[in-house]
Structures are given as C-alpha cells and as structure tokens.
Amino acid sequence: MKTVGILGGGQLGRMMIEAAHRIGVKCIVLDAPNCPAKQVDGGSSHIDGSFKDADDVKRLADLCDVVTTEIEHVNTDALEEIATRVDVQPTADTLRCIQDKYLQKQRLSARNVALPAFLDAPNSDTILEAAKQFGYPLVLKSRTLAYDGRGNYVVHSESEIPEAMMALGKRPLYVEKFVPFKMEIAVMVVKTLDGKHYAYPTVETVQKNNVCQLVYAPARISPSLQEKAQTLAKEAVEAFTGAGIYGVEMFVLEDGTILLNEIAPRPHNSGHYTIEACATSQFEAHLRAVVGLPFNEGNTQMATSSTHALMVNLLGTEDPEYVNRIAQRSLTIPGATLHLYGKDKSTKGRKMGHITIIADSLGDCEARYAQLLAGEKEGAEKASVEANVKKPLIGIIMGSDSDLPVMKTAAEILESFDIPYELTIVSAHRTPTRMYNYARSAASRGIRVIIAGAGGAAHLPGMVAALTPLPVVGVPVKGSTLDGVDSLHSIVQMPRGVPVATVAINNSTNAALLAAKILGTSRPDLLKKLQAYMDKMESEVLVKAEKIESLGWREY
Amino acid sequence: MKTVGILGGGQLGRMMIEAAHRIGVKCIVLDAPNCPAKQVDGGSSHIDGSFKDADDVKRLADLCDVVTTEIEHVNTDALEEIATRVDVQPTADTLRCIQDKYLQKQRLSARNVALPAFLDAPNSDTILEAAKQFGYPLVLKSRTLAYDGRGNYVVHSESEIPEAMMALGKRPLYVEKFVPFKMEIAVMVVKTLDGKHYAYPTVETVQKNNVCQLVYAPARISPSLQEKAQTLAKEAVEAFTGAGIYGVEMFVLEDGTILLNEIAPRPHNSGHYTIEACATSQFEAHLRAVVGLPFNEGNTQMATSSTHALMVNLLGTEDPEYVNRIAQRSLTIPGATLHLYGKDKSTKGRKMGHITIIADSLGDCEARYAQLLAGEKEGAEKASVEANVKKPLIGIIMGSDSDLPVMKTAAEILESFDIPYELTIVSAHRTPTRMYNYARSAASRGIRVIIAGAGGAAHLPGMVAALTPLPVVGVPVKGSTLDGVDSLHSIVQMPRGVPVATVAINNSTNAALLAAKILGTSRPDLLKKLQAYMDKMESEVLVKAEKIESLGWREY
C-alpha cells in the first residue's frame, strides 16, 4: 500500500486520516505541530513545518509515494519539482490554475462551461470598463488567496469602487457580472487515476457573509436540475488534471439555469455530509482516488433510499461558550453526529466542528435542527430555517367543501397515526389551473401520497393521478342520485397507465388507512402501529362476540 | 471534559478513540506499544504495559478522571483499589462477576432472568450428576478466560467427558443444559451514570465454531420478538453496576422463547454495525455513558427507516492473502464500509477487520455480500448466505389460474421497473388456510405490497387485507356474467378499517403501476422511473396527435 503525504493538517486532513485508518492507508502530514490532523494519528513521522515552504514539501516527498493536499494555497513550484520523483495528485498545474480565480475561470470558459461573465480588472480604469459592460451591481473579486468569501466585494455604484479596492487590498483583481441566483448548490466530483469522473449528489449550501452555514443533501430542487448540476460539475472538473476529489460550487438562477461559481481541488465543506449520508465519504473517496484504489458510482450514492442530511457548521461566535453549548446539545438530538476538530480556541467565525443530522426527510432534519438551536439568540444559521413544523406527507384534497363531512374522517385517522397532512379544496372542473399546479408540485413539496375525494362525474382523483408520479387514493363521494356508483365508476375505471387506488363509497377512513399503509412500506414504526390498529379492531369484535354469546342474542 | 483511561488497546479501543476524537474526549490507552488503538491517536501520554498488571493500572489511574475497559480480562483487584481515587466504569464488581461465567449466571438467575439451566461442575463426578439431570447432549464450559467460544465443549455421551475436560484444560468448569436454539441474537444495552438503560435494535449473529461471522441488523424475527429481546437484555444488564455499554447475547428457541446466553461489559462485535447503521455508534455510546454526556433513546435508533445492515467479520484464514483480497473487493461493493484494525499479521481466525454493508433491505445486503465473496472458496461465512437472488418486494396472487391472462401484465410491468416480485395462486374459497398463512407471513418475509386479483364473489383481496398490515391492491377480474361489476363491488366496497386499493376491471397494469408508486414513496430512483414512464406515455400521444394533424383524420 502506498504512503500518502498530505500538505496541510486542518480538519480536512484530520477527516482524511480517519478514513485512511479504516482502509489501511498510511499518511504523513506536513503542517504545524499538534494540528487537527496530527492529533488523530499515532504515526511518528509527521513533519512539523509549512506547506508553503519548498524544503518542507521536499522533505515530505522523500517519505511518500503520493503527495496530495487538503488546501489549495500550497507551494506549487515545489510540487512541480517533486513531481519528477513522486506522484502528485492533483497536479501542480491544477493547483496553480485554481489558486488564481481569474485563470480558473478562463480555463473553464475556454471549455464552454457555463459561468457568470467576467473580465480581468487590474485597476480602477478596467473596473469602470467592466461596469459599462456588466452594469451594477457587479462583483469585484481578488484573483488570489480568496476563500470563504474573503476576497469578494459587491459594488453597487461607481462611488463604491475605491472602498471595494481598499477592502480587497493589494491583491490582483477581476470583475464578475452579478448573478441574481435563487440558490447556491455544490457537487463533489471524484476523478480517478484512470481519468473517470463520479459525481456525489447535488447539495444546497446556505451561506451567510460568504461562509457556508448549512448544507441540505440533496438540494431542494427537482431531480432533473440535480442531474444537470452533476453533469456540469463533471464537465468542469474535466478541465483539470490529477486525481482526487473536487468541490464544485454553482449558482441556480430563477429560470433553472446553472452557472459554475468555483472549484476546490480537495475535500470540501459542502461534502462533509457524505461521512454519514453516503456509501463512501468524500475523504475516503479522495484517498482511494489518489492511491488508485477502486471507486465506482455506487460509492457516491446516499446510504439508503430514505437518507436525507442537513450539515451544520459549528462556527465560533462572540460568545465563547456558544460552540460548546451547541456541541453538547447536539448529543441530545436524534440522528445528529458531532464532529469536533480538536481546535483549542473558539474565535468568531472559526470552523470548530460540524454536526450532521440524518433523517428520513429534509423536513425532519430541519425540525431537529430547530431543536438544536432552541433558545439560542446567536447562530447565524437560525434565520434560514423554516418554521419548526412537520412537513405534510399526505395531501387530502376534495372537489368541494360539501365533501368535507365525508373527507374529514381521513384527517382524523391520519392524526391518530401522527402522520402530518395538509387538507384543502381543489376542484378539477372549477379550478383546473389550481389542480394542475397542485398535482405537479406535490412530489417536490415532499408530499408522498395524495387522497382525493370527489362525487358525481368525479374527475379529480384521476386527473391528479395523470399529473403526478405519486400514488393517488380516490374516495368516491355519494351524491344525491345514483348512490355514489357514478363517482365510484368515474374514479376506479381509469385507463391503463394511470392508476387510482380506489376505496369504497364514502369510506375516507379506508383512504387514510391505505395512505398510512403506503408510508408503512418504508417505515417499520408505522407498520407496527397499523398492526396494533388491526389487533384493536379484532379484540373489539371479540369482546362483542363474547357478550353476544354470554348474554344470548335476545338479551344483547 | 474528563480524561478517560482505557484498559486495552485492541480494535474495540481503537474504534472508541475514533469516536472520542469527534466528541472531544481525551483518552489514554494502557496496552502494548503500537496496539491498534494507539495507532489512531496522536496523544503522547499512552502507557505501554498490561491491563493485567496492577502497577500499570495504577499508573493509568493517575492520569485519568474515569477508567474503563475494552476487554473483561483485566486486573479487577487493581481496579477496586483505584476506584477510591478515580471513577471506574463499569465497576470492578461487574467485571469480576462477568469474568466467571458461573457467577455471572448465578447473579442473573437470582434476578429471574431466563437462562438455560446450569450447574457447578468442578469435577467428573459433578459433571455426571448434571448429566443425570440435563441429559445429553450437554455443554461443558470453562468458568473463566472463555471468549469467542474458547471454553465451550458440547458433550454427547458419558464417554466424551474425559476428552472434554482435557480440551478445557485446568480451568474451573460448569455445565449447561444444551439448548436447541434456532437463532442467536444480541442486543447492545447502554447504562448511563444515572442508571437509565437504553437498548439498541435486536440483531442476529451467525456463528461458526463459536466465532461470530455475520451480524444481521435487525434480526430476522418478528418486531414483537425483537422487542422482547430488548426487554430481556435490559433486565439482564440491571443485574450489574457501572455505566457503559453491555453486549447481551441470547438464544431464540423454536417456540419463541428467548434465553440469555452471556454478557460482555464493553463494546461488542455484534454492535459494530452501529457505526454506520445507527444514529450513534456503540463506541460513542460507551464513552458518553462513562463520562456522563447526554444519551437518549433516539441515539440507539437505526439511522433511517430504511436502514438495514449486514456486518461481516474479516477473519484471517490459511490463505495469507484472503483478508487483503476481501478488503480490496469490499471497496467495489456499493454500501460497503471497510474497517481494518491495523494488525500486521493475518493468522487463521484472527479478527483483522470488519465490513459493514448498508442497504434498503437485508435481501439487498445479502446480495452485496454474495458479490463480496464471489469466487472465494474459503470464507466460512459464505455457507450461511442465502442464494444471491433479489428477495421479492411485491406479491402477485390470484384466485385461479384462469386469472393469469389478466394478471400476468402486472408481472411484466414490475419487470420493466426492475422490481422483484413473486407470483402464485392463492384461493380464498378453495385454499383458505394457504390464504391465511400467505397473508400473515407476507410482511415478515419482506413483501411490501400485495396485488390480488379475483373475479365473481371476489373475496381474495379483502380477506388478505384483513390479515396483513401491508397495502393490498385489488384487481377485479371480469367473469362471464355481469361484466366484472360483481368483482369490482366485491373488492372495493370494504368495511371501514380494512382498505383495498381497487383499480379498474381487468386493469392489472394499473395495479402494478400503483405498487411501483407505493414503493416510490420511499425510493427516489423509482419515482424518477415513474415520471419517465409518464413522460413516455405523453410523448407517444403527442406523436399520434401530430400525425393526425399533419395527415388529416381521413388519411390517419
């Protein structure tokens, strides 16, 4: 097995080494003594020094078969030099190109990767020139040494330019057109030694002051948009040489356009969720890629079909006890895993650790996250969380409020099983647009089953079924004529290809039970409750049977 | 935060330290230099020595706030002595009692914990006495220094007694009545400092030569038996003092009786699956318990409702390359996580590591496990795996073979979605017992949805629905009279409490699509396929529309 030298021993190196132990890869870290990575390894050959120092880098190379990195701001000249003796993954060329954001974008642009428009802008004249082309606001960016948003400045008018240049210091600058994105997303891409690319799921990153606060896995966008992002991310990584994992950050615009933001040639904050949520973590993926161990599509998948994750960065605040308090509280939250990085001092904005919350849905993750922050005033992430309500899993809809007396029993049954639902009126004939929108959006809003009740020419259940991949349960509601047989036939006799799960006339109890049974196929807890419900029905009848037998039918 | 001293630095200590890093607990290990646990920690204060040496134990105590153990064969006298100065969890009394299996069973028996009958049997006379009481076969066991089955001998007749005594050496002996169990199971129980008990899921252990080969999580027994085992395990652990995690091994007999086998006062091989499969691992649970960090019921749950795990021990064989080969192959298996323990030499039977396979069902775990061992001659575990076939998720049943022409379309649709199913004939009226057994066993066999087709007085779907908590889809099959309306009404008009998801007459296509949609509620991959199916239907009609418009309806 090859020995891997790692430039940098922060939290990324630390988590890389944890993976290395499990798969039997020996690692040697170059960084300061007692850095987070060295704390978790008993190997004595680590090097105390700096990944920016050429001699230190060469000393590391002498001990290793492969040299890789957990940070992009390394000495690339030294890397180039040692590449004649050891494997360097990813390559010095890749790191050098990515260190300079302008060069990075030029390379991506040359390969037609979709990007916000950008221009070199070394001085105020060129910035003004760019402003003419892009308009305001525009984003003034530092080409080098920019990470976690340090090095970005949104300029709203010409008068702000001097201030922006001052803030960015003496670093070389370029300008990007401001992109009014609706969401920031990211994809981790693994490039193997033989040049294959594998994409992890598309995740959503919630940033504040350009620092990642939360990661939703998967992103709350449609599956087809998620796939589009994975494809774009893989295309972007193809522009660079060298094996390893790459973090690819992107913007999603209102119209569904996806633009590349930037790339990190290493494990990335937006990929921490993979430790608990995916078959193989980004850290193990990186190691496997750089030493040439097997890796395939299966390694990038979510651990199970119902795995959802919310990753919370544990950032220092002005309250020195904040991190400790949240870390302790995380131990009481179901499905939360705490990762502390072994850093001594919690200063404002410092990444002290992270917490990954796993649950069956992102709604459940959010509810647990709200528990985590309960009572906190601080915690920038707090604001971004939606209300601590359980997201509905079942949608109950009916054609008219006159159906409510029949349909409300479904709601009562769902409440008795503690299943969150929503209930509303959607008429196929009187509100066709509303029906269309309801049915089309239901799956992406997290609804898992729709219960639709209708009477007469009862089109609602079938029309909704035609518009959603979700299972639809139909309740024929009895009208004033024909005894409900009209509704029953209208609901049940659907053409091939579009099923409606039809229950008995007026029997919304059974519709709700059926919906519960459907959820029960993936929830053993619910299956157990359903069995208990059946047992209760049975014993109720048995009590009556005993009574009728002991009293005699005349007395009964 | 308290510093924890760990007696023993094998793989259990190693995985404990990995958990400790994440939650910020400092650990000091007492064991040989470069033992597995010390390899994964950069702390310099570890002690080279032996957990059996009183002086070494005292030296460790001087550096810690809490002393705990990863192995039960420690110096309990020394532990008792240091308990006056530091916290010892679990207690010396617990370790001493558990070290002697006879004393362990006496204590459990005194608390009415269900056990196989046992008798002290220091010599051949007492063994013969026990044989009179228990009959043959009986199990001769060593009271002390027995683990991984070393120290057990099944005696089939009086003539084998001398041989058995020889094999067990000079250790003190006792006799247990032979229990014809159908399954071995285990539960990890956490005892907190304030005396609360929390049970992890019940798992099934597959043993060969008394060494654990495989662990199925959860065990393949009914939910109520699983709960019974958790309750028994908690009762057993109540007999011992001191915080920490306890591994409780049990037998399940044919009639559902559960008997306690033995207890380990530490993390346990049967709990390794918790690292990937549960909210919180057994190692983190142990640390939290002994230092008094929060722990609750939620920490013991499976990570998601669809998480299933198969843990495979990586044991050395006579082939020195075996472990390496399996370890490498595990990297190609989706959902498999490799854990190597950092041991140099792979000798026969040595625990070199383990692999945990996570999937949506135990059937999927087994299929992946079969892939892992593909082509291997060795690997004792191989034999225990069921055939490498996908377990059916859908059961298609019909009242008569005359229904097959209608029902076979359902099978074809399921095949097109790659959903494993079973298809058979079950008649409510002609094979009522078969119907009863089919419906009762379906859920525990892994079936998630039943599709039942029937004609005329079509009772099959409703009767099956009355016997299972699973969702049942009913297909009314059209008979020679009444156009199928008889079947439709018979299937759809179920009483409150027992729903059947009824589809159109003869429309088994829709029944299969509905079943797919039901599985799709917990499987995004399937939901995507269903959306694609709908898109295809749409485009097929659009093509026809274009043709009719361009050709004109006369030509069409």
Residue B444 CA to chain centroid, in angstroms? Answer: 14
> Is the N-terminal amide bond of A180 cis, ω within 30° of 0?
no
CB contact under 8 A, B502 and A499: no
**What angle (nearest 5°) sits at the alpha carbon of residue B396, between those of residues B393 and B400?**
160
Say if CB B201 and CB B302 are below 8 A apart.
Answer: yes
Q: What is the pLDDT of residue B358?
A: 96
Based on the fold, state whether residues B158 and B202 are members of the same structural domain. Answer: no
Quick one: tokens of B472? 């049942």
Q: How far apart are CA A542 and CA A546, in angstroms?
A: 6
Residues 6+ apart with CB under 8 A from A337: A275, A276, A330, A355, A356, A357, A358, B22, B279, B280
Given phi > 0 = left and psi -120 to 50 = alpha, else beta, which region is B552? Answer: left
Based on the fold, state whether residues B436 and B419 are members of the same structural domain. Answer: yes
Q: What is the pLDDT of residue A151?
A: 82
Q: Tell me the three state secondary structure of residue B313.
A: strand
Distances (CA, A) of B106 to B123, B251, B387: 19, 18, 42
- Any idea which residue has 């010599």 for tokens? B123
Alpha carbons within 13 A on the beta-carbon side of A56: 19
Q: DSSP secondary structure string, A297-313?
A: GGGGSBSSTT-EEEEEE
Q: Please state which of the ranges A434-448, A539-553, B365-379 shows the lowest mean pLDDT.
A: B365-379
Q: DSSP secondary structure string, A344-366?
A: S---TT-EEEEEEEEESSHHHHH
Instruction: Please check whether residue B110 lies inside any domain of the structure.
Output: no
Q: Where are the alpha helices (DSSP H) in A354-403?
A: 362-373
Quick one: tokens of A110? 């040359």
Q: Which residues pair with B475 in a beta bridge?
A: B453
CATH, residue A224: 3.30.470.20
At residue B62, what are phi and psi to the nearest 5 degrees? -65, -25
Buried b (16+ CB within 10 A) or exposed e, B90-125: bbbbbbbbbbbbbbbbebbeeeebebbbbbebeeee
Reported as a pLDDT band with limits 50, 70 and 90, residue B525 is confident
Reported as a pLDDT band with limits 50, 70 and 90, residue A81 is very high
Q: Report the gap between the CA of A332 and the closest CA in chain B (Å).
A: 6
Q: How far apart are CA B246 and CA B264, in angstroms?
A: 6
Say if CB A60 and CB A28 are below 8 A apart.
Answer: yes
Helix (H) or strand (E) segment spanning residue B372: helix B362-372
Nearest CA in chain B to A40: B41
Based on the fold, state whether residues B188 and B317 are members of the same structural domain. Answer: yes
Instruction: Please check whether residue B548 lies inside any domain of the structure.
Output: no
- Determine the average pLDDT of the residues in B99-128: 94
Reported as a pLDDT band with limits 50, 70 and 90, residue B552 is confident
Whole-number percent of chain B with pLDDT over 90: 74
Reported as a pLDDT band with limits 50, 70 and 90, residue B379 is low
**What angle (nearest 5°) sits at the alpha carbon of residue B528, between those of residues B527 and B534?**
90
- Determine the average pLDDT of the residues in A124-140: 92
Q: Report the gap between the CA of A248 and the closest CA in chain B (Å).
A: 23
CB contact under 8 A, A303 and B301: no
Residue B386 has pLDDT above 50, yes or no: no
Based on the fold, state whether residues B283 and B315 are members of the same structural domain. Answer: yes
Q: How far apart are CA B212 and CA B148, in angstroms?
A: 8
Q: Output the 3-class SS for B220-257.
A: CCCHHHHHHHHHHHHHHHCCCCCCEEEEEEEEEECCCC
- Determine the average pLDDT of the residues in A290-311: 94
Buried b (16+ CB within 10 A) or exposed e, A86-118: bbbbbbbbbbbbbbbbbebbebbeeeebebbbb
At residue A443, what are phi and psi to the nearest 5 degrees? -60, -45
Instruction: Please check whether residue A547 lies inside any domain of the structure.
Output: no
In this predicted model, which residue has the larger pLDDT, A391 or B553?
Answer: B553
First-to-last alpha carbon distance for chain A, in angstroms, is 82
- Determine the average pLDDT of the residues in A397-407: 93
Q: What is the pLDDT of residue B147?
A: 64
Closest residue to A360, CB basis, from B279, B305, B358: B305
A427-455, pLDDT tens digit by residue? Answer: 988 888 888 989 988 987 889 999 999 99
Q: How far apart are CA B10 and CA B8, in angstroms?
A: 6
Instruction: Please check whether residue B100 lies inside any domain of the structure.
Output: no
CATH, residue B431: 3.40.50.1970
CB contact under 8 A, B521 and A448: yes
The whole-chain average pLDDT of chain B stands at: 92
CB contact under 8 A, A331 and B294: yes
Q: How far apart are CA A250 and CA A261, in angstroms?
A: 5
Q: Quick one: how many helices (H) and strands (E) in chain B?
A: 19, 23
Q: DSSP secondary structure string, A481-547?
A: SGGGHHHHHHHH-PPTT---EE--TT-HHHHHHHHHHHHHTT-HHHHHHHHHHHHHHHHHHHHHHHH
Based on the fold, state whether residues A401 and A327 are members of the same structural domain. Answer: no
Q: How far apart are CA A320 and CA A332, in angstroms?
A: 21
Nearest CA in chain B to A45: B42
Q: Report the gap between the CA of A425 and the closest CA in chain B (Å).
A: 23
> Is the N-terminal amide bond of A116 cis, ω within 30° of 0?
no
Q: How far apart are CA B478 and CA B500, in angstroms?
A: 18
CB contact under 8 A, B299 and A41: no
Q: What is the pLDDT of residue A223?
A: 79
Residue A106 has pLDDT above 80, yes or no: yes
Based on the fold, state whether residues B215 and B192 are members of the same structural domain. Answer: yes
Residue B480 has pLDDT above 70, yes or no: yes
- Determine the average pLDDT of the residues in A364-383: 74
Provide the residue type at B490 as one letter: S
- Determine the average pLDDT of the residues in A176-199: 96
At residue A12, what are phi and psi to the nearest 5 degrees? -70, -45
Instruction: Please check whether residue A105 lies inside any domain of the structure.
Output: no
- Determine the average pLDDT of the residues in B471-483: 92
CATH, residue B64: 3.40.50.20
Q: What is the pLDDT of residue A448?
A: 92
Quick one: tokens of B474? 């009913």
CB contact under 8 A, B504 and A518: no
- Determine the average pLDDT of the residues in A373-391: 56
Residues 6+ apart with CB under 8 A from A80: A92, A93
Give the residue among B240, B496, B296 at the shortest CA–CA distance from A410.
B496
Chain B residues with CB under 8 Å of A488 CB are 492
Give the residue among A186, A92, A185, A99 at the shortest CA–CA distance from A142.
A99
Q: How far apart are CA B349 and CA B376, in angstroms?
A: 17
Instruction: Please check whether residue B498 lies inside any domain of the structure.
Output: yes
Chain A residues with CB under 8 Å of B521 CB are 448-449, 470-471, 518-519, 521-522
Based on the fold, state whether residues A166 and A236 are members of the same structural domain. Answer: no
Q: Quick one: how many helices (H) and strands (E) in chain A?
A: 19, 23
Based on the fold, state whether residues A224 and A333 are members of the same structural domain. Answer: yes
CB contact under 8 A, B534 and A469: yes
Instruction: Please check whether residue A35 lies inside any domain of the structure.
Output: yes
Q: Report the gap between the CA of B451 and the closest CA in chain A (Å).
A: 12
B49-58, pLDDT tens digit by residue? Answer: 999 999 999 9
CB contact under 8 A, B299 and A334: yes
Given phi > 0 = left and psi -120 to 50 = alpha, else beta, which region is B372? Answer: alpha
Best of A15, A17, A21, A44 to disrupt the B interface by mutation (most B CBs within 10 Å)? A21
Q: Report the gap between the CA of B267 and the closest CA in chain A (Å).
A: 18
Q: Report the gap between the CA of A94 and the closest CA in chain B (Å).
A: 27
CB contact under 8 A, B340 and A24: yes
Residues 6+ apart with CB under 8 A from B394: B414, B419, B420, B421, B422, B447, B448, B449, B450, B451, B512, B515, B519
Distances (CA, A) of A256 to A99, A384, A445, A465, B54: 29, 22, 17, 26, 69
Based on the fold, state whether residues B260 and B224 are members of the same structural domain. Answer: yes
Q: What is the pLDDT of residue B149?
A: 60
Strands B203-208 and B211-217: antiparallel
- Determine the average pLDDT of the residues in A203-218: 91
Q: How far apart are CA A143 and CA A102, in angstroms?
A: 6
- Determine the average pLDDT of the residues in B519-533: 85
Which sign, positive or negative, has the C-alpha torsion A286, A290, A295, A296? positive
- Determine the average pLDDT of the residues in B526-552: 89
Q: Report the gap between the CA of B367 and the closest CA in chain A (Å).
A: 14
Q: Which residues pair with A475 in a beta bridge?
A: A453
Q: What is the pLDDT of residue B389?
A: 47
Whole-number percent of chain A with pLDDT over 70: 97
Say if CB B499 and CB B492 are below 8 A apart.
Answer: no
- Determine the average pLDDT of the residues in B291-304: 95
Chain B residues with CB under 8 Å of A439 CB are none
CB contact under 8 A, A521 and B520: no
Q: How many CB atoms lie within 10 A of CB B254?
A: 9
Q: Please state which of the ranges A327-331, B227-231, B302-306 shows the lowest mean pLDDT.
A: B302-306
Residue B381 has pLDDT above 80, yes or no: no
CB contact under 8 A, B521 and A449: yes
Q: What is the pLDDT of residue A390?
A: 63
Total domains present in chain B: 4
Q: What range defines the domain where residue A76 resides?
A: 3-88
Q: What is the pLDDT of residue A383?
A: 40
Residue B441 has pLDDT above 90, yes or no: no
Give the residue among B16, B77, B54 at the shortest CA–CA distance from B288.
B16
Best of A473, A492, A519, A527 to disrupt the B interface by mutation (most B CBs within 10 Å)? A492
Q: What is the pLDDT of residue B403?
A: 94
Q: Report the gap between the CA of A472 and the closest CA in chain B (Å).
A: 8
CB contact under 8 A, A304 and B299: no
Q: Please state which of the ranges A147-151, A263-267, A343-347, A551-555 shows the lowest mean pLDDT.
A: A147-151
Based on the fold, state whether residues A233 and A125 are members of the same structural domain. Answer: no
- Determine the average pLDDT of the residues in B302-325: 92
Residues 6+ apart with CB under 8 A from B427: B399, B400, B434, B435, B460
Q: How far apart are CA A341 and CA B21, in angstroms?
A: 8
CB contact under 8 A, A499 and B513: yes
Reported as a pLDDT band with limits 50, 70 and 90, residue A477 is very high
Closest residue to B510, CB basis, from A327, A494, A525: A494
Residue A263 has pLDDT above 70, yes or no: yes
**What angle (nearest 5°) sits at the alpha carbon of residue A272, between those of residues A266 and A278?**
105
Q: What is the pLDDT of residue A35?
A: 96
> DSSP assignment, residue A104?
H
Based on the fold, state whether residues A428 and A501 are members of the same structural domain. Answer: yes
Based on the fold, state whether residues B24 and B9 are members of the same structural domain. Answer: yes
CATH, residue B141: 3.30.1490.20
Q: Tell me the three state secondary structure of residue B453.
A: strand
- Given the cut 0.90, state whether the ipTM is greater than it: no
Instruction: Please check whether residue B143 lies inside any domain of the structure.
Output: yes
Q: What is the pLDDT of residue B388?
A: 38
Inter-chain CB pairs, A–B, below 8 Å: 282
